[in-house]
Amino acid sequence: MMRAIQDFFSRTLAYWQAAPMALVFGFFFLLPLAATAMVSFWEYTEYSIEPAFVLTNYSDAFDGCISSLPDLCTTFRTYLSTLFFCGGTWLLTLIIGFTVAWFLAFHVRTMTMQIVLFTLCTIPFWTSNVIRMISWIPLLGRNGLMNQLLLSLGIVSQPQEWLLYSDFSVLLAFVHLYTFFMVVPIFNSMMRIDRALIEAAYDAGASGWQTLWNVVVPLTKPGITIGSIFVITIVMGDFVTIGIMGGQQIASVGKVIQTEISFLQFPAAAANAVILLISVLLIIVGLTRLVDIRKEL
């Protein structure tokens, strides 16, 4: 009997070890997610919220999308705006993050210096995102340092309004805030590359660009995918950055949800949150189909 019990626990030891984390994951993630999905089917009026099972909140989210064709409805335009910021931020953070990771991994020789440079990269995270965004306003504003510099150099004849409260300022803030989320996984992948492979590529006559494209990039794909997932998931749901740097004038899915919550329209906000979650999951599934990120984990 005791032998059987010992065999049982030995076979299920991994499950027992994973149980505490599974409980935390279920309580703090799966349970709130299930509650959000449930509330998305409830009815609501200006004065009340009633438990029910209706599809009104989802149909209202796409109200007029068919009748307005070939023009895009408000929901599709909002998602296109969000995808524009998501795609632009992803591309810029990928270029900058890959360059920084390449420098740290292949041009910084000592571990001590790598740690020092990584610490310098984390210094901006010692302050809140809001403070880091607000710091751009005196730089990019109508009477800010950038406009004063352009005017003094004679490059422009009047202050440039597009520097602040525009798509440019929103993209700039996103890149400033989230590039480091791309640097870390890419750097981790690059550090796992066997340096003998790079030396072999050079010995075979490959140029620097050929080595980069045919050796480094393929072996760095898991890190690129993980960094892309980090950046895309954060940007898709962000509303604070777009609100501050866009001057409350630029639409995004996150801002729509935040506005509905502020007006106590919780079922509508929950429905939009579920739609946003499905959209993000589809993007993540597409990325994971391209690269097996399990090699990185």
Instruction: Indicate the SS3 state at residue 17.
Output: helix
Residue 241 lies in a domain: yes
Give me the DSSP letters along 180-220.
HHHHHHHHHHHHTS-HHHHHHHHHTT--HHHHIIIIIHHHH
Residue 51 lies in a domain: no
169 and 253 housed in the same domain: yes
- Confidence tier at 67 by pLDDT (50, 70, 90): low
User: How do residues 153-178 score in pLDDT, each as one tens digit?
Assistant: 888 888 888 888 888 999 999 999 99
Residue with more model confidence, 290 or 285: 285
Q: For 122-132, what is the mean pLDDT?
A: 80
pLDDT at 59 (0 to 100) = 84
pLDDT at 94 (0 to 100) = 95
Residue 65 lies in a domain: no
Domain, as residue range, for 16 = 1-39
Residue 53 lies in a domain: no
Residue 84: C-alpha distances to residues 26, 80, 81, 183 (Å): 33, 6, 5, 21
Residue 265: CB atoms within 10 A of its CB come to 20
150 and 238 housed in the same domain: yes
- Confidence tier at 230 by pLDDT (50, 70, 90): very high
Q: For 262-286, what is the mean pLDDT?
A: 89
156 and 273 housed in the same domain: yes
204 and 270 housed in the same domain: yes
Q: For 283-290, what is the mean pLDDT?
A: 84
Q: Is the pLDDT of residue 277 over 60?
A: yes
Residue 187 lies in a domain: yes
Q: Is the pLDDT of residue 84 over 80?
A: yes
Q: Is the pLDDT of residue 74 over 80?
A: no
123 and 28 housed in the same domain: no
- CB within 8 Å of 121: residues ≥ 6 apart: 100, 180, 183
30 and 89 housed in the same domain: no
pLDDT at 18 (0 to 100) = 78
Give long-range contacts, CB 8 A cutoff, 24+ apart: 200-204: none
Mean residue pLDDT of the chain comes to: 84
Q: Is the pLDDT of residue 16 over 80?
A: no
Read off the pTM: 0.85
- CB within 8 Å of 250: residues ≥ 6 apart: 81, 167, 170, 242
Give the containing element (helix H, strand E) for 130: helix 129-134
Q: Is the pLDDT of residue 231 over 90?
A: yes
Which residue is it, tokens 């895009």?
A: 72
Q: Is the pLDDT of residue 226 over 70?
A: yes
Residue 59 lies in a domain: no
17 and 134 housed in the same domain: no
Q: What percent of the chain has pLDDT over 70?
A: 91
Q: For 125-133, what is the mean pLDDT?
A: 81
Residue 235 lies in a domain: yes
Residue with more model confidence, 13 or 99: 99
100 and 211 housed in the same domain: yes
Q: Is the pLDDT of residue 93 over 60?
A: yes
What CATH number has the domain bearing residue 124?
1.10.3720.10
- Our count of domains for the chain comes to 2
Residue 50 lies in a domain: no
